[in-house]
Structure 1
Amino acid sequence: METKPYLMFKLGGLTYGVDSLLVQEIFSLPEITPIVDAAPELVGILNLRSELLSIIDLNIHFGMENPQNSYSIDDIIVVISNGDKKLGVLVNEVCEVQIISDDDITRNLPYSVMVDLPTQSRSRSHHHAIAGYAEIDNQIIMILDPESLRDKIISEDTPQISDSHNRDDHDYPVTKNRKIPVFCPDATPEERQIFRERAANLKRETKKDELSGLMSLVVIGLNGEYFGVNLSIIREFTDIHNVTPIPCTPPHIVGNMNLRGEIVTLVDIRGILGLPMDINGNSQKAAIVQVGEVVAGIIVNDIFDVTYLNPSAIKLVPAAVHSTQDEYLRGTAIYRDRQNPQAQNRMMSLLDLEKILVQETLVVNEEI
């Protein structure tokens, strides 16, 4: 059973989910430039570090019109990247990351719902942007298919600029005396200034290492300290139950656990990091990680957040002060809690969990 981490966000009172591994960047809504010759849901473009990024409004895409462009300074842009394809999605609020199993996603709507749809709704192709539906904590989540969404809006519906003077190859209506589109016309002068400053900051050229993309990290807690772990190696989070001790193993090998028929070895990395270990077995959660062919459960105290970190924000640990713990750290960075903006910023250590898991000391020797 395959599981994936999905970034949840809200728009128009509805909750959506998108594969968090495709999320490249998240930032507050800047001023965007409207496009007159494009699909209605493609509300504009912006200059993101010398690269033009298309921004879409899912409300308009799904037929919930927003004719006044009534956006606010609290809205957010989520940049989704799939290979060399990028798309900005305008959302109202970014929520937590949820681990969802494929088995929990319903791919098709019930037939009784489909037969009640108006004929014109059945013929539209915008429903292909929804890959399925999942119920999390009694709430229905709509899972986006970013590739279908982008291909439909950008590749097919938007006319391509060419040297040809023939512009009659698309179906968008041309109305006389159309108003010139204006981004967020109801914004106050102060809000408009904020939008413009954000756009100017995003346009600014950055160093080469900053252009390589953001790092996706899961923020976990161990003994009151904050650690960042590469999201790409996290398979899921689970509760710890029915652990079977393994004889003749180091103290940090806690035991085996049956995870839906798969035997997973639990590891307490706190001893390796020089932190006090949980000798009483009070920890209740584990992160199931996979590095190559190695699958293990890493015991954690807390699971705080998924964050996206610019590599340029990482501070390396000085070589002169290296300790046993620092051997397994990539560096440190400031962690800002998006769920609680008023909270004080914390220092987060970036774990090289891959290096920890390939140690010979983590190999369970069953012959002893």
Structure 2
Amino acid sequence: MGEELKVIIFGLASEYYGVEVDKVRTIERMMPITRVPKTPAFIKGVINLRGVVIPVIDLRGRFDMEQAEATENSRIIIVAVNDLEVGFIVDSANDVIDIDSDAIDTPPEVIGGIRARYLRGVAKLNDGRLLVMLNLAEVLNKEEIVQIEQFED
């Protein structure tokens, strides 16, 4: 048995993704997002969360998925990536589960069009669903982190 990981499950399109609870600061309902000029299309802008300006990324856009309107279930998951707080827009944030780290397999090259560098692995859940574990450090590459850090000044 490997170590137990606490994971937040969220949905994008018909897929389920996971991110470790210790990387998640908070999960928020959708709120007004201020667009920032000259940023990639998937960077939706910034939000003011309790006095802190946080950049927001549309994960559908990041992964070149079809865009969708926000719904009642849409959420912004605030995560910490390399000392930077970033919000990810997801279709839904479902629940928190425990996964044995041994249950996480190396990802194939592409899953649902998402390149392997964004993925930490794939876990098979007890109910038969596959859970794609994100590699948060890769979801934001270095140049994008530099761009985002500029709007925090």
Distance 2:61 2:80 in 1: 20
**Alignment RMSD, CA only?**
2.2
* Equivalent residues of 1:242, 1:257 under 8 A apart: yes
Question: What is the aligned counterpart of 1:270 among 29, 40, 60?
Answer: 60
Q: So what's the TM-score if we normalise by structure 2?
A: 0.83
> What displacement does 1:231 show?
1.1
Q: Counterpart of 1:236? A: 26
> What displacement does 1:306 show?
1.1
Q: Counterpart of 1:353? A: 136
> What displacement does 1:351 show?
0.7
> What displacement does 1:277 show?
2.8
Where in structure 2 are the equivalents of 1:136-155 lying within 5 Å?
Answer: none
Q: Counterpart of 1:313? A: 103
Question: Do structure 1's residue 246 and structure 2's residue 36 form an aligned pair?
Answer: yes
Q: So what's the TM-score if we normalise by structure 1?
A: 0.37
The one-letter code matched in structure 2 to 1:330 is R
Distance 1:351 1:311 in 2: 14
> What displacement does 1:358 show?
4.4
Q: Counterpart of 1:224? A: 14
Question: Do structure 1's residue 287 and structure 2's residue 77 form an aligned pair?
Answer: yes
> What displacement does 1:324 show?
4.6
Give the percent of matched residue pairs that are identical in Structure 1 and Structure 2: 29
Any idea what the Cα deviations from partners look like across 1:76-129, whole Å, max 9, x if unmatched? xxxxxxxxxxxxxxxxxxxxxxxxxxxxxxxxxxxxxxxxxxxxxxxxxxxxxx
* Equivalent residues of 1:274, 1:325 under 8 A apart: no
Could you say what secondary structure the match of 1:345 adopts? coil
The one-letter code matched in structure 2 to 1:347 is L
Distance 1:290 1:316 in 2: 23
Any idea what the Cα deviations from partners look like across 1:147-173, whole Å, max 9, x if unmatched? xxxxxxxxxxxxxxxxxxxxxxxxxxx
* Equivalent residues of 2:108, 2:116 under 8 A apart: no
Question: Do structure 1's residue 260 and structure 2's residue 50 form an aligned pair?
Answer: yes
| Number of corresponding residues | 147
Q: Which has the higher strand share?
A: 2
Q: Unaligned 5+ residue runs, structure 1?
A: 1-209, 337-343
Instruction: Identify which of structures 1 and 2 has the higher relative contact order when contacts are C-alpha pairs closer than 8 Å and 6+ apart.
Output: 2
Any idea what the Cα deviations from partners look like across 1:169-197, whole Å, max 9, x if unmatched? xxxxxxxxxxxxxxxxxxxxxxxxxxxxx
